[in-house]
Structure 1
Amino acid sequence: MLVILISFAFAFGLILTRVGLPPMVGFLLAGFVYHMAGLATPAGLDTVADLGITLLLFSIGLKLDVKGLLKPEIWASATSHIVLSTAFITGALLLGQHWLTTPLLDMSWQTMLILGFALSFSSTVFAVKVLEDKGDLTAFYGRIAIGILIMQDLFAVLFLSASEGKLPSLWALSVLALPLLRPVLFRFLDMAGRGELFILCGLFIALGVGAEGFSLVGLKPDLGALVVGVLVAGHKRASELSKALFGFKELMLVGFFLSIGMAGLPTWDMLLAAALLCLLLPFKCGLYHLIISRFGLRSRTSLFATLSLANYSEFGLIVTAIAVGQNLLPTEWLLVMAMTVSLSFAVASPFSTSSERVYRWMSSWLKRFECAYCHPHDAPIDVAGAKALIFGMGRIGSGAYDELVKTYGRAVVGVEHAPERVDFNRADGRRVILGDACDTEFWLKIKADAALELVILAMPNHHGNVFAAKQLRNLGFECHVAAIARYPEEVEELAELNICAAYNMYEQAGGGLAKKALESCSFKP
């Protein structure tokens, strides 16, 4: 059965990617089809799904800026949306009970309030996957979206503790002493070296220390993985650990999406209920955009963050399961919620992946909601006078910067969308500004600057490099453009956009190493 399920997942994932949807939608569909075929659920699938969520939250913790959660655009936006969205969806359910004659809505207003609360959440799994695929986890709008989701996760933990009618044990106070373990965890990472032992060290910290440790004291295991991830985020190898666990996390998340689709066999009434609930998504998104924009975010940033949150959360399944267990809801609502979450993923995916196109279509209307005040991290960028621009100030971008300074001096400007990387480069004396190469308004800002001679696209995300190259071509820039790529097909795609130099960093790495070796040999006596 496991081989058949993997075959279903691969086939539907491949088909859905061919039509422009993310593979996760295919995995959901594969789960439904597999279950409708009457095939048995492979043993251990739920365990794999739970491990996927745990590792996902651990990886979020490795990249999390705790101070960022204390910013008003995070905590105030999350809190306001929970309250307003719960009230709106509960009201919609009450109207549906009044107008529609269906046993699915035969429930008390208190139960509808619980459903409204569950449907007010957005999916952490979906948002992180989409942001990872777009390379925007560290973009300003990506950090806003992730911050709101983490605040929602904290609300979820409080709700689950209250709904189960029990409080964590007194030993739960011991988690306050976790910072004392930080030197020990750092030492483990230093001693683990590389390879399989390093991966096992990461799994031990995430599952053993974090998830299992929190579970023993009556707290949510996933929260433990998140907290421990935050603890080790300051280690110099935290980014390396995140990359090492990436394959495990991705594979186990496939099990999560399959398990959602295998929740049961739907009926037409359930499908109709799920479709009607998905019709509420535009109103939920409107609340997100309206609230987020009140904190000085431009319409583009507010829209991108909103589209990342334009779905229902897998947490709704947990809340529904609790309500069913307490006989507040009929069992059919588990299937309704599973289909609602699945459909919301399918509806949200094309909008989120085509967010720039959506913004261009709606920009004139959305700008009406902008505040007069502009958030410092979201202000328009001025690069007037720059002769060379470098997009992406990672290791490759910073190396290119240091080389170009020899020719252009202070007329070289680096552009980076991650604030911490901007600060790092500025500390090293580089002229770097905070900006997003995938921001249409950024390109309109530098449209009239004729001094620009060279642009280097050194972003790790190929889609970002392609978008920037298209903007340069569409706006009529006469400068030379060079870009990095990882695969031959990426080099070909960039070449079709009239890039004067597409540098395959993997192919060229060997040549660069040999050149360096020959240069060093030439100085030997």
Structure 2
Amino acid sequence: MEFAFILLAFACGFGAKLLGLPTLIGYLTAGFVLNYLGYKSTEDLQTLADLGITLMLFTIGLKLNVRDLLKKEVWLGSISHTVIWITFVNLVLAGLAWVGLEIFATLDFFTHSLLAFSLSFSSTVCIVKILEESGEIKTRHGKLAIGVLVMQDIVAVLFLVVATGKIPSVWAPLLLLLFFIKPIWAKILEIVGHGELLVLSGFMIALGGYQLFELVGIKGDLGALIVGMIIAKHVKSAELSKALMTFKDLFLIGFFLTIGFSALPTLDLLLTAILLCILIPVKFLLFFKLFLMLRLRARTSYLASLVLSNYSEFGLIVVALLVSLGWLTAQWLVIFALAVSFSFVITGLFYKSSHNQYTKYKDLLRNFEKTERLKEDAYIQPDDAQVIVIGLGRVGKGAYTSLNAIIGHKVWGMDADPMRIKNLTDEGFKAMVGDGEDVDLWENMDLSHVELILLALPSIDDICNITEQLKHAGYKGKIAAIARYEDEIQPLLDAGSDKVFNFFTEAGIGFAEESLHLLPSRNLTNKD
């Protein structure tokens, strides 16, 4: 692979970070710059891009609960949105043809419908990257967005079967055997340990699932997703996901670069792409209204709709197929590549401040909520809580256990992952499902008796956002936070934390202090 690819990707990603923008915007820019400078995409780059998407879908599967797909707000919301969107966009495109825009006037009703269908999908790559960077994959709105994406992927597979005439092999039913060999994979994951063999096993399972589905005529990416779902409940699934994260993020840079290599636009094609992006607010409003009708809270509906409001890389696949069949001219591939790229930028920019947006307009948005709430959206009141630990991963769980040993039942835990909370409550923890960045949660909770809130989260942005939401809710107690790196301490203090603990330093001190208890007191002497 050309060194220029790495150099431009780093430079543009670094520039985006300095400007406070998502790095994916920088990678998209790098692709177009490289294309403008005369570079061409290579097989190596395409391989990295494909591998990144496969690993991403596999890691999604590791975090996905099949029951989430069966919820009405997921399957009905997704299907309803697709049908209404295709109808609306079809009418818009027909209207543009009627007023005489040449590029639309040459298309018939059937082709308009296929273009509308291509625009109905949201980008799995863009959305997952944004949700992972913000630590919101397992939040209520994050799981809703992922569920909708999975439903769209299923529709995509069905479309490709019909459009290409590629019917799955007669051997496809044998894929059901994957569920029966699950104990074998479970045993392997237990034995491989925690080093490079664990990472290698993740690659093997993800790529193996991809190849198996391809062999029987089914989209390989769907195979990576499904094998991830099969082993999602394994005790090492979370560790495996974290181990693959760096590789996945690195390979996905190749995907963003390849979009820029699609083609260079003319002014007419650029304006047409911008015209298609003007429809994105309609996509947002349609998702928002449907989610509210399905009794979701305004905040969940707003955040999920906002992150879903973009166009998908699958649209490029559909358009490329239509071009190969002679139904569209090649210029439409350029238009879609631009529209998809612009939509990524729009989502990246707007979602970055999404929580502040909701806080600002929450009183208006709540007016659209249904009075009857879904059961899992009801607020829990930790009436006797004196201390709340937010984030019940390894650090948060350890903090809860230590505090519980000291002050007993007055400690509560909170985490956005319902499955984690279920497992912990089964173990006897006093824990509740909650998103710390949810201002509605804090405003509906009695915080008068809460004296201390511990923020045991990996993302500094999440901690800062939660601190801000607590201020909005009028919290008067103390806030303690965990920092992974030295340069994170001061920003957390500036954001409002009363005390920040360096995870690695404090862990070493605690380890030393606890270890000293193993020595007889007579052997403890001060030495110069």
Per the normalisation by structure 2, the TM-score is: 0.95
- Aligned amino acid, residue 397 of structure 1: G
After superposition, the C-alpha distances for 1:393-413 in whole angstroms (9 at most, x for unaligned) are 222222222332344332222
- Aligned amino acid, residue 273 of structure 1: T
Aligned partners of 1:238, 1:406: CA distance in 2, in Å? 29
Which residue of structure 1 lines up, in the alignment, with residue 432 of structure 2? 433
Inter-CA distance 201–362: structure 2 relative to 1 (3 Å threshold): same
Gapped regions of structure 1 (runs ≥ 5): none
Inter-CA distance 30–467: structure 2 relative to 1 (3 Å threshold): same
Which residue of structure 2 lines up, in the alignment, with residue 252 of structure 1? 251
Per-residue deviation, 1:462: 2.1
Per-residue deviation, 1:358: 1.6
Map of 1:6-85 to 2, 5 A cutoff? Answer: 6-85=6-85
- Aligned amino acid, residue 89 of structure 1: V
Inter-CA distance 178–476: structure 2 relative to 1 (3 Å threshold): closer
Inter-CA distance 120–92: structure 2 relative to 1 (3 Å threshold): same
Which residue of structure 2 lines up, in the alignment, with residue 466 of structure 1? 464
After superposition, the C-alpha distances for 1:379-430 in whole angstroms (9 at most, x for unaligned) are 2343344221221122222222233234433222222211111112211212
Inter-CA distance 165–471: structure 2 relative to 1 (3 Å threshold): closer
Which residue of structure 2 lines up, in the alignment, with residue 508 of structure 1? 506
For 2:518, what is the secondary structure of its paired residue?
helix
Inter-CA distance 452–196: structure 2 relative to 1 (3 Å threshold): closer
Aligned partners of 2:335, 2:450: CA distance in 1, in Å? 56
- Aligned amino acid, residue 345 of structure 1: F
Which residue of structure 1 lines up, in the alignment, with residue 183 of structure 2? 183
For 1:521, what is the secondary structure of its paired residue?
coil
Per-residue deviation, 1:364: 2.8
Per-residue deviation, 1:2: 1.1
RMSD: 1.7
Which residue of structure 2 lines up, in the alignment, with residue 421 of structure 1? 420
Inter-CA distance 485–29: structure 2 relative to 1 (3 Å threshold): same
Aligned partners of 2:171, 2:522: CA distance in 1, in Å? 65
* Greater Cα shift, 457-466 or 7-16: 457-466
Aligned partners of 2:522, 2:337: CA distance in 1, in Å? 69
Identity of aligned residues (%): 41
After superposition, the C-alpha distances for 1:219-248 in whole angstroms (9 at most, x for unaligned) are 111011111111111221111111111111
Contact kept? 2:439, 2:473, Cα under 8 Å: no
- Aligned amino acid, residue 146 of structure 2: I
Which residue of structure 2 lines up, in the alignment, with residue 274 of structure 1? 273
- Aligned amino acid, residue 284 of structure 1: K
* Greater Cα shift, 244-253 or 180-189: 180-189
Which residue of structure 1 lines up, in the alignment, with residue 480 of structure 2? 482
Per-residue deviation, 1:83: 0.8
Contact kept? 2:14, 2:26, Cα under 8 Å: yes
Per-residue deviation, 1:512: 2.0
Contact kept? 1:381, 1:445, Cα under 8 Å: no
Aligned partners of 1:122, 1:72: CA distance in 2, in Å? 19
Aligned partners of 1:428, 1:190: CA distance in 2, in Å? 22
1:518 partnered with 2:513 = no
For 2:41, what is the secondary structure of its paired residue?
coil
For 2:421, what is the secondary structure of its paired residue?
helix
For 1:455, what is the secondary structure of its paired residue?
strand
Inter-CA distance 472–107: structure 2 relative to 1 (3 Å threshold): closer
Per-residue deviation, 1:508: 1.6
Per-residue deviation, 1:253: 0.3
Contact kept? 1:473, 1:497, Cα under 8 Å: no
- Aligned amino acid, residue 515 of structure 1: E
After superposition, the C-alpha distances for 1:297-321 in whole angstroms (9 at most, x for unaligned) are 1111100111110100000000001
- Aligned amino acid, residue 150 of structure 2: I
- Aligned amino acid, residue 15 of structure 1: G
- Aligned amino acid, residue 437 of structure 2: C
Inter-CA distance 479–101: structure 2 relative to 1 (3 Å threshold): closer
Which residue of structure 1 lines up, in the alignment, with residue 526 of structure 2? none
Aligned partners of 2:428, 2:57: CA distance in 1, in Å? 35
* Greater Cα shift, 117-126 or 485-494: 485-494
Aligned partners of 1:433, 1:70: CA distance in 2, in Å? 23
Per-residue deviation, 1:518: 2.0
For 1:286, what is the secondary structure of its paired residue?
helix
Aligned partners of 2:103, 2:198: CA distance in 1, in Å? 54
1:133 partnered with 2:140 = no
Which residue of structure 2 lines up, in the alignment, with residue 452 of structure 1? 450
Per-residue deviation, 1:10: 0.8
- Aligned amino acid, residue 517 of structure 1: S
Map of 1:221-370 to 2, 5 A cutoff? Answer: 221-370=220-369
Q: Where does structure 1 differ by over 4 angstroms across 4 or more consecutive aligned residues?
A: 473-476
Contact kept? 1:20, 1:350, Cα under 8 Å: no
Inter-CA distance 325–433: structure 2 relative to 1 (3 Å threshold): same
Per the normalisation by structure 1, the TM-score is: 0.96
Map of 1:377-392 to 2, 5 A cutoff? Answer: 377-392=376-391
Aligned partners of 1:101, 1:295: CA distance in 2, in Å? 38
Aligned partners of 1:463, 1:6: CA distance in 2, in Å? 27
Which residue of structure 2 lines up, in the alignment, with residue 197 of structure 1? 197
Per-residue deviation, 1:27: 0.7
Contact kept? 2:439, 2:472, Cα under 8 Å: no
Which residue of structure 1 lines up, in the alignment, with residue 407 of structure 2? 408
* Greater Cα shift, 130-139 or 471-480: 471-480
- Aligned amino acid, residue 468 of structure 2: K
Per-residue deviation, 1:18: 1.9
For 1:520, what is the secondary structure of its paired residue?
coil
Contact kept? 2:396, 2:456, Cα under 8 Å: yes
For 1:413, what is the secondary structure of its paired residue?
strand
Per-residue deviation, 1:360: 2.4
For 1:433, what is the secondary structure of its paired residue?
strand
Contact kept? 1:104, 1:333, Cα under 8 Å: no
* Greater Cα shift, 321-330 or 227-236: 227-236
After superposition, the C-alpha distances for 1:71-105 in whole angstroms (9 at most, x for unaligned) are 11111111111111111111111111111332354
1:211 partnered with 2:210 = yes
Per-residue deviation, 1:160: 0.6
Contact kept? 1:49, 1:255, Cα under 8 Å: yes
Aligned partners of 2:515, 2:399: CA distance in 1, in Å? 20
* Greater Cα shift, 317-326 or 192-201: 192-201
